[in-house]
């Protein structure tokens, strides 16, 4: 029997981004203690996976310059951003040489990964599994510790814009 054509090959990447942009996402910065310096990347694809065992995950492009250092460290820390941290988010989304310059950092208790100042909450993790998924990897982490840190509105990404959840 002949193989059916793959309809996903006809999906326009612009249409894909536009439609999926209708789903609001929280904004995080995932950090790791690299061998020569800390690394961090802004992530909008963070997800809770399991309560027992406690697992979380995020998607990172296979071409990310931060991935090798994260993988080598074996750990990461998720920093959940607050609405007023747009500038910090921009720095972490950039390809700046030293994204942490001038920041007062703490070390996460289990991983030693950087905890960014004034974030909403942190989730410190050990890399449990990496799943290849197209042009991204799904990095699954076992939660070592977690902490709410600041009571402020979270940063949300929706339809290409950053904002907050009003209540």
Structural domains of the chain, ranges and CATH numbers in brackets: 26-151 (2.30.110.10)
DSSP letter string, 81-135: PBTT-HHHHHHHHS--S-TTTT---EE-TTT-PEEPTT-SEEEEEEEEEEEEETT
The pLDDT profile of the chain, 167 residues, written as one tens digit per residue, is: 667 666 666 888 888 888 877 878 899 999 999 888 999 999 999 999 999 999 999 999 988 888 888 999 999 999 999 999 999 999 999 988 899 999 999 999 999 999 999 999 999 999 999 999 999 999 999 999 999 999 999 999 988 888 876 65
Name the strand (E) or helix (H) holding 71. helix 67-73
pTM greater than 0.75 (yes/no): yes
**Residue 46's closest CA among 30, 65, 70, 68?**
30
């Amino acid at each position: 029997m002949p193989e059916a054509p793959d309809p996903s090959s006809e999906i326009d990447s612009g249409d894909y981004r536009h439609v999926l942009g209708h789903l609001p996402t929280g904004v995080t910065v995932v950090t790791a203690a690299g061998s020569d310096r800390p690394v961090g990347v802004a992530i909008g694809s963070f997800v809770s996976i399991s309560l027992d065992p406690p697992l979380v995950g995020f998607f990172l492009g296979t071409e990310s310059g931060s991935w090798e250092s994260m993988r080598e460290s074996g750990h990461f820390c998720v920093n959940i951003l607050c609405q007023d941290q747009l500038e910090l988010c921009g720095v972490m989304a950039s390809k700046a040489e030293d994204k942490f310059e001038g920041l007062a950092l703490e070390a996460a208790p289990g991983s030693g990964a950087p905890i960014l100042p004034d974030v909403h909450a942190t989730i410190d993790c050990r890399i449990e599994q990496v799943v290849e998924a197209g042009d991204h990897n799904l990095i699954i982490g076992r939660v070592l510790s977690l902490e709410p840190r600041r009571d402020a509105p979270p940063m949300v990404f929706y339809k290409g814009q950053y904002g907050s959840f009003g209540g």
